[in-house]
Amino acid sequence: MAFPSRFVRRSTIESIFGTINSSRIMESSFSHSLRFSIEKPNAKPGAQKKGSQKPKKKKMSRKAKLNELKWYRLKAKKKMKSPNPEVRMRYKLEKARRKEEWLIEKLRKYEVPRSPEPVHDPEILTEEERFYLKRTGEKKKNYVPVGRRGVFGGVVLNMHLHWKKHETVKIVCKPCKPGQVHEYAEELARLSKGTVIDIKANDTIIFYRGKNYVQPKVMSPPDTLSKQKALEKYRFEQSLEHTSQFIEKLEKELEEYHKHVALFKKCEEINNNRTIDEEITVDNS
């Protein structure tokens, strides 16, 4: 901004921009104009405001951490040894729910994203071919076990190694939940590109490699878990199953306790009413 020097006064500048001490005014006699710039005195470049700074977290000493842990343990001990059974059950229920949430978060890490697969055209087999392959698969002794780890990269690798010399291979699923064999069959058919010939009652699946089978360069698919990670996933799944069963059991116990308390209060009210009626009849007589 520029004002002609003859129209500018000190009072007008002070009224608009404050006192002259808080601003720097530079006059140029050549251009007959007044130039000025407003700056804070002793202002450092790059200085941050106090409000913008984040509050620093106070580091706890080792002794303070131990005292905090002792306090939490004492609190939990009081709840566990409480004379009120409802307090004890609610504490166990809260603890089990926290564990369930933690296990679900852990299991999310073991979810493998499926890669886009090429279109696989399964071979059409006649009834005679199916019967022949079923009989040969039953007679042969080559098999691949699927244990507690479930389907992982090593199972598919072993299937391809068996298909190098044999047309069929048996997949023995033990231990296996009811209905889980069909899930294993679908998963292995997707990963190995084989054909399911038969699923037996003793949790055994017979797979056929195909007429135009070519052994792939990478026999263990990349979108599968390793042996160690599959075992870790199984342990977390087992723990989650047990905790969910424990939560259901505690919820039922809590419901029964509430019913028992309500029944006890109802009986107490009836007894009180009876005693009042008896006292009234005695007074009247």
Q: What is the Cα–Cα distance from 87 to 116, expressed in whole angstroms?
A: 52
Instruction: State mean pLDDT over 249-271.
Output: 90
Spell out the domain ranges in the chain.
3-38, 127-232
Q: Looking at residues 228-246, what average pLDDT do you find?
A: 95
Beta strands in 29-174 (DSSP E): 33-38, 143-146, 168-173
β-strand 143-146 against 33-38: which pairing, if any?
unpaired
Tens digit of each residue's pLDDT (9 = 90 or more) over 44-102: 555 555 555 666 767 888 888 888 888 888 888 888 888 888 999 999 999 999 999 99
Cα–Cα distance, 29 to 220 (Å, whole number): 86
Q: Where does 127-232 sit in CATH, by number?
A: 3.30.110.60
Q: What is the pLDDT of residue 38?
A: 47
Q: How sure is the predictor about 5, in pLDDT bands with cuts at 50, 70 and 90?
A: very low
pLDDT tens readout for residues 134-179: 999 999 999 999 999 999 999 999 999 999 999 999 999 988 888 8
Q: Please name the residue that has the structure tokens 């135009």.
A: 212
pLDDT at 166: 93
